[in-house]
Structure 1
Amino acid sequence: MTLALAFVALLIEAVAGYPEALLARIGHPVTWIGSLVARAEAVWNEGHLTFAAARLRGILALATVLLVTASIAFLIAGALGLFLPPWAVLIIEAVLASTLLAARSLDDHVAHVADELESRGLEGGREAVAHIVGRDPASLDEAGVSRAAIESLAENFSDGVVAPVFWLIVGGLPGCALYKAINTADSMIGHKSERYEAFGWASARLDDLVNLPASRLSALWLVAAAWLMRGADWRASALAALTDAPRHRSPNAGWPEAAMAGALGLALAGPRMYGGKRVDDAWMGSGRRDATSADIHRALRLYRIAYVIQAAVIAALALIALLLF
């Protein structure tokens, strides 16, 4: 059931995405979760707390967010099962689950960076890439903008597509919703600033844990896509993932970034500027650093093939499960 659910959700997301009219009228499930995280943070993260007290309150705040999210998801799934036939439940849950995937919006945002670089030059690229990365855009040249867009595509393929699908298969709609709540909490309070280093500790550690399987899977899909895509190098992709990813400062982001870099003959990650501070990170891949908008388009092509591969594998597994059980 959950394999079929994941396949239909991927199909809906690829075809329709999240309609802009719906976004303008009611917002987005991720923004609803974000509002819940913000409310919990405002209530629990009072000033002048000791490190231990702030960390404990962060755990309690995260637990509150997850409890509310899980309760709503279980209520929805349970109610659908009481009143509707299985095929209708599958379709409705797939529509709901598709809102927790970010495949189409990720594609649009990254493609916009390439389009702006080509139409408006460096300034346009900087403005576009500022919407999808946290580093200082003013510090980026054209190669830096292009690498940042490709890195964001690779990392968010894991966080925004592969991981929610993985947890959808494991735990159905509640599993997918819980993953998204953890990931949203990490993006909001999981960074190492003075305010959140202790309070966001639980969110950051739990996000690292739940993304472990998806980060490796995303690298696998990218290697497989490189095998199918003309001009990509699947052997270099696999080698970069295996040798470079463990050197990344993140336990997860390096896997898709390294696989993407190796496939395209690029070097990604490396030293970057965040909030005026230099962050030294290892280079992923051993290719050239002078990426261009053409490389962004190549990365998007690789990403789309990887998306189709993931959907095809899930469809095959669903068919096997149907025949066996």
Structure 2
Amino acid sequence: MFFTLAFFSLLIERLCGYPQWLVRAIGHPVIWIGTMIGWLDGKLNRAGQSFARRKLMGVVALVSILGSVVFVTLGISWALGTSLFALAILAVIASSLTAQKSLEDHVLAVANALDAEGLTAGRKAVSMIVGRDPDQLDEPAVCRAAIESLAENFSDGITAPALWLGIGGLAGGAAYKAANTADSMIGHRSERHEAFGWAAARFDDLINLPASRLTALLFVLSCFFVPGASAKDAWKTVWRDAKKHRSPNAGWPEAAMAGALGLALAGPRVYGGTLVPDHFMGAGGRREATPTDIRKALKLARFADILMIALFGLLALTGLLIARA
């Protein structure tokens, strides 16, 4: 039933997204989780504490966040039961955990802004999806940032929540989303969060490991459906460059995308005025990325999405046949 839930939730979110009127009316699960994380950060992460104490409080915060989310979602699942009606309601709820439509819309907005209004508009559009300093980016850097964000966020915003929905149902998908949101908010290496966010960052690395590898594979396979994309170069780049990335997971989808498009992605970047060193994914590829490359990357991502939905549909059908055997 869990893979069936993941399959239908992906279809619903692909077609409908999460409506803005609903965000305005009741918010979004990420907003609710983020509010809880912010409250725990304020209560437990105190500057006067030792490094070890703040690290322990970060573990307490992560366990509290995950425990609360799992408790609520298990309660919802139990209350609804196992009927087809319950599956439909759970699929609608679970569709809020993936970001197929919104990710595509935000990345496409960067290409459209560059084409229609130029660099300033492109910088503003890309600032909505990346954390690096947009004023430091020329047009090729804006394009690379959009493509890198698409690759990484496809993994942790689409593949990973869908995978954990398939493994653990609504509770599994929601717990993943809570952990990933915690990593985004407190898992970075700032003075305030280096100790407190340690648990969130390490746990996020662990739970994203299978999805990042699956996403890379999906990008490689998608090359067969996109003219000009190279499955051979994507595969070769993954095995050569993915493990060199500063992140244990982001390098896999970024390397696959870089090889597929013949680009050199990642490398040194500026965050908050600080140059952060990193290896290039697709070393030797072009650095002069264009809006056309963004659109080609989006085509790859769309086919990867179709392949993933088909995979979950096949797993759901297999589970159904086994249950009836």
Q: TM-score, normalised by structure 1?
A: 0.98
Report how far residue 158 of structure 1 moved.
0.3
SS of aligned partner of 2:42: helix
Give the aligned partner of residue 299 of structure 1: 297
Which of 230, 233, 243 aligns to 1:233? It is: 230
SS of aligned partner of 1:278: strand
Partner Cα separation in structure 1 for residue 115 and residue 89 of structure 2 = 40
2:113 paired with 1:123:
no
Q: Which amino acid aligns with 1:10?
A: L
Give the aligned partner of residue 95 of structure 1: 92
Give the aligned partner of residue 28 of structure 1: 28
Q: Which amino acid aligns with 1:95?
A: V
Partner Cα separation in structure 1 for residue 301 and residue 67 of structure 2 = 34
Q: Which amino acid aligns with 2:313?
A: A
- Off by >2 Å, runs of 4+ in structure 1: none
Which of 176, 180, 185 aligns to 1:179? It is: 176
Please say which of residues 221-230 and 153-162 is displaced more in the overlay.
Answer: 221-230
Give the aligned partner of residue 201 of structure 1: 198
Report how far residue 214 of structure 1 moved.
0.3
Tell me the number of residue pairs that the alignment of Structure 1 and Structure 2 aligns.
322
1:75-224 paired onto structure 2 within 5 Å:
75-81=75-81, 86-224=83-221
Report how far residue 321 of structure 1 moved.
2.2
Partner Cα separation in structure 1 for residue 60 and residue 322 of structure 2 = 43
2:61 paired with 1:64:
no
SS of aligned partner of 1:214: helix
SS of aligned partner of 2:275: strand
Which of 307, 315, 322 aligns to 1:309? It is: 307
Give the aligned partner of residue 246 of structure 1: 243
Q: Which amino acid aligns with 2:158?
A: V
Give the aligned partner of residue 6 of structure 2: 6
- Is there any run of 5+ residues in structure 2 with no aligned partner, and where? none
Please say which of residues 284-293 and 159-168 is displaced more in the overlay.
Answer: 284-293
Report how far residue 320 of structure 1 moved.
2.1
Partner Cα separation in structure 2 for residue 279 and residue 271 of structure 1 = 6
Partner Cα separation in structure 2 for residue 308 and residue 75 of structure 1 = 31
Q: Deviations over 1:49-107 (max 9, x none)?
A: 111000001111111111111111011011001xxx62111111111111010111000
Report how far residue 228 of structure 1 moved.
2.1
Q: Deviations over 1:116-159 (max 9, x none)?
A: 00111010100110110000101100000000000000000000
Report how far residue 37 of structure 1 moved.
0.4
Partner Cα separation in structure 1 for residue 196 and residue 321 of structure 2 = 48
- Is there any run of 5+ residues in structure 1 with no aligned partner, and where? none
SS of aligned partner of 1:109: helix
2:274 paired with 1:274:
no
SS of aligned partner of 1:99: helix
Partner Cα separation in structure 2 for residue 178 and residue 317 of structure 1 = 22
Partner Cα separation in structure 1 for residue 310 and residue 225 of structure 2 = 14
Q: Deviations over 1:166-190 (max 9, x none)?
A: 1001100000000000000000000
Please say which of residues 219-228 and 181-190 is displaced more in the overlay.
Answer: 219-228
SS of aligned partner of 1:273: strand
RMSD: 0.8
Report how far residue 316 of structure 1 moved.
1.4
SS of aligned partner of 2:270: strand
SS of aligned partner of 2:182: helix
Q: Which amino acid aligns with 2:320?
A: L
Partner Cα separation in structure 1 for residue 297 and residue 70 of structure 2 = 35
Report how far residue 322 of structure 1 moved.
1.9
Partner Cα separation in structure 2 for residue 65 and residue 314 of structure 1 = 28
Partner Cα separation in structure 1 for residue 43 and residue 322 of structure 2 = 50
Report how far residue 243 of structure 1 moved.
1.1
SS of aligned partner of 2:97: coil
Q: Which amino acid aligns with 1:196?
A: H
Report how far residue 317 of structure 1 moved.
1.9
Partner Cα separation in structure 1 for residue 168 and residue 322 of structure 2 = 21
Report how far residue 323 of structure 1 moved.
2.0
Q: Deviations over 1:31-61 (max 9, x none)?
A: 0000010011111011211110000011111
Report how far residue 2 of structure 1 moved.
1.0
